[in-house]
Amino acid sequence: MSEQMKVISAAKSHGGVQGVYSHASEACACDMNFAVFVPPQARETPCPVVWYLSGLTCTHANVMDKGEYRRMAAELGLIVVCPDTSPRGTDIPDEKDNWQFGGGAGFYVDATQAPYAKNYRMYSYITEELPALIAQEFPADMRRQAIFGHSMGGHGALTIALKNPERFKSCSAFAPIVQPATAGWSRPALEKYLGKDKASWRSYDATSLIEDGHRFPEFLIDQGTSDGFLNDGLRPWLLGAACAKAGIPLTLRMQDGYDHSYFFISTFMDDHLRWHAKRLSDAKAGA
Amino acid sequence: MSEQMKVISAAKSHGGVQGVYSHASEACACDMNFAVFVPPQARETPCPVVWYLSGLTCTHANVMDKGEYRRMAAELGLIVVCPDTSPRGTDIPDEKDNWQFGGGAGFYVDATQAPYAKNYRMYSYITEELPALIAQEFPADMRRQAIFGHSMGGHGALTIALKNPERFKSCSAFAPIVQPATAGWSRPALEKYLGKDKASWRSYDATSLIEDGHRFPEFLIDQGTSDGFLNDGLRPWLLGAACAKAGIPLTLRMQDGYDHSYFFISTFMDDHLRWHAKRLSDAKAGA
């Protein structure tokens, strides 16, 4: 292990190792934590990498504690990387009483507006800096990567996949924000991070990206019907319409009675990991 | 649902419902929270009940969040009840800086010493009051019950099973305190709850109970070899010796490289639930 990364904790779990690590992030100009599960297969051979992006208010720890991904990731031989959701630290601009902006609410964008542009660069962090560190420090086969996430992290997964289709073999989401440019809980954040000119928001909005010609082979989305944010913030049918128009296959499963919590996410975690493993495995066969 | 119980939260998960409830406990003379997972099978027929007792510092929430029991409990049709580990409240005697005594450290005893005797009656709470409430409020088949737990809760499971062999069809534990009367982290607590006369401690010590003639059909124990508490507080070989002498079959699995955390517990949760389900199912066939 190099000097670039500090081990916060490491515990054996399901035959692999669940670790939490810290490093000095250049993109976010602060120390950042992240969690990585390395499956037992990685002792023999590099394993594919699945990125899980978390939702508003979360750190790396929420899905690590409640996501129930290790059993299936160990079975399928997947490395699971769970980054934080924003820059952190006492000298980072924040609005502590606003859970939809600042700390825990990076929205996976590169902010262009002062004072946020210095730290809130989660897009570069997730797509460039952290992958380079993972490639260097873990037994990862970076030719095989997949991405998924929840809520704000579902938005992150969709937009990052649409902008980097050559990198990711598959993309899925739990209850994603599919059109942050018009959702009440994300519009104010985009305005503060990116400015008032809504043209600049389009590259961080899954439906706009598809309208503007970006493509991805297919998406899997699970959405609970009892999710309190369904009709206001999430509205998966907007992605359905964009995908239908663009000819992108979308498997949208409305899950009866499920809410927005990790009780929902953990229920369908196995399905998503199997979805990714199948496509990562096909990628290997075709490589 | 009666007036005896308040629903704190309820969420669909793995086809069942994970709830958190509150009630006014007579045994502990305070309001107590507990978590219950009801599997989908309970919509059709009463289901067996598995009790999970948690360790020091825990509430009902730790295993609910990190134990990863719902998928398998839903598959096997098991109700899982997760109580708190002590009485709670501002007027309850406590030692807030002592994690091995008071709040979060009830040790599943009925205290006899002032000022603890009024509230610290977790043995009666777990064996009498809470089962009566579960029987009344949930679709539970109380003729089929099993019990397990972790660390202090493993101690609770072992001692409660040994004292109530007619009630529980099976008992298992993760890294249990098998001889609290001599372990550094439990001896001071037993003295404060039960007094200086060590004779009174024997009915809350698994090895002493076995020495004193209590029996149970068999035990399953998983213990991590990298558990920092192994040689001081846990010492499963002491139970091994007592079981060997008494002719009680003990399946003690030393799990290489695992620690004391929920990363360890969740790894072997499926095995334990299957162990209990098999014995609960045999009990049904034989009923």
Query: How far is residue B242 from each of residues B248, B249, B257, measured CA to CA in Å?
Result: 8, 10, 26
Instruction: Spell out which residues of chain B touch residue A13, defining contact as CB-CB under 8 Å.
Output: 258, 263-264, 266-267
Closest chain A residue to the Cα of B258, Cα to Cα: A12
Which residue of chain B has the CA closest to A68? B68
B9 reaches A (C-beta below 8 A): no
Q: How far is CA B180 from CA A159, B107, B112, in A?
A: 55, 9, 17
B208 noted as active-site residue = no
- Of B112, B115, B50, nearest to B83 by C-alpha is B50
**B14-27, pLDDT tens digit by residue?**
999 999 999 999 99
Within an 8 Å CB–CB cutoff, is residue A15 touching chain B? yes
Contact yes or no for B12 and A70 at CB 8 A:
no
The confidence score (pLDDT) of residue A225 equals: 98
The percent of residues in chain B predicted with pLDDT above 90, rounded, is 96
Confirm or reject contact between A71 and chain B (CB < 8 A). yes
Supply φ then ψ for residue B240, to 5 degrees.
-55, -45
pLDDT tens by residue, A189-218: 999 999 999 999 999 999 999 999 999 999
Preceding amide of B180 cis, omega within 30? no
**Is B282 noted as a catalytic residue in this protein?**
no
What pLDDT score does A282 carry? 79
- Cβ–Cβ < 8 Å for A111, A94: no
B-chain residues within 8 Å CB-CB of A10? Answer: none
Task: Encode pLDDT of A9-47 as tens digits.
Answer: 999 999 999 999 999 999 999 999 999 999 999 999 999
Give the nearest partner residue to B263 out of A11, A257, A264, using CB atoms.
Answer: A11
Per-residue pLDDT tens for A214-267?
999 999 999 999 999 999 999 999 999 999 999 999 999 999 999 999 999 999
Does residue A260 have an active-site annotation? yes
Angstroms from B269 CA to nearest CA on chain A: 10
CA distance B72 to chain A (A): 11
Q: Apex CA B176: angle with CA B172 and CA B182, to 5°?
A: 135
How far is residue B239 CA from its own chain's centroid?
A: 17
Q: Comparing C-alpha atoms, which of B286, B265, B151, B270 is closest to residue B217? A: B286
Could you tell me the pLDDT band of residue B274, with boundaries at 50, 70 and 90? very high
Q: Which of A151, A172, A186, A208 is catalytic?
A: A151
Percent of chain B exceeding pLDDT 70 equals 98
Sheet holding B16-25, edge to edge: B6-13, B16-25, B30-38, B79-83, B47-53, B140-150, B168-174, B219-224, B250-255
| Domain limits, chain A | 6-286
Tell whether B225 is within 8 A of chain A (Cβ). no
Find the residue in B nearest to A15 (Cα). B267
Band the pLDDT of B2: cuts 50, 70, 90: low
Please give the pLDDT value at position B282: 79
If contacts are CB pairs under 8 Å, which of residues 263-282 in chain B contact chain A?
263-264, 266-267, 270
Probe site for chain B from A13, A82, A223 (most B CB atoms < 10 A): A13
Q: Identify which of A18, A261, A270 has the shortest CB distance to residue B11.
A: A261
Q: Which tokens in the block code for residue B155?
A: 């101690």
Mean pLDDT of B185-198: 96
Q: Quick one: closest CA in A to B260, which residue?
A: A11
Average pLDDT over residues B104-132: 98
What pLDDT, on a 0 to 100 scale, did the predictor assign at position B3? 82
* DSSP 8-state code for residue A280: H
> Looking at chain B, which residue has its C-alpha nearest residue A65?
B66
Q: What is the mean pLDDT of chain A?
A: 96
The reply to whether residue A13 touches residue B263, judged by beta carbons under 8 angstroms, is yes
Contacts of A226 in chain B (CB under 8 A): 12
pLDDT at B273 over 90: yes
Say if the Cβ atoms of B18 and A263 lie within 8 Å: yes
Q: Do the chains contact at A13 and B267, CB–CB below 8 Å?
A: yes
The answer to whether the Cβ–Cβ distance between B263 and A18 falls below 8 Å is yes
pLDDT digits (tens, 9 = 90+) for A112-168: 999 999 999 999 999 999 999 999 999 999 999 999 999 999 999 999 999 999 999
Classify residue B240 by its DSSP letter: H
User: Is any Cβ of chain B less than 8 angstroms from the Cβ of A261?
Assistant: yes
Strands (E), B14-59: 16-25, 30-38, 47-53
Is residue A287 over pLDDT 80? Answer: no
Convert the pLDDT of each residue in B37-87 to its tens digit: 999 999 999 999 999 999 999 999 999 999 999 999 999 999 999 999 999
Q: Taking residues B166-182, what's their average pLDDT?
A: 98
Q: Given pLDDT bands bounded at 50, 70 and 90, which one contains residue B283? A: confident
Instruction: Classify residue B36 by burial, with Cβ atoms within 10 Å: 0-12, 13-18, 19+.
Output: buried
Please give the CATH superfamily to which domain B6-286 belongs. Alpha/Beta hydrolase fold, catalytic domain (3.40.50.1820)
DSSP state of B102: B
| Alpha-carbon distance B138 to nearest alpha carbon in chain A (angstroms) | 20
* Closest to B19 (Cα-Cα) out of B31, B27, B7: B7
Nearest CA in chain B to A256: B12
Catalytic choice (A150, A155, A214, A260): A260
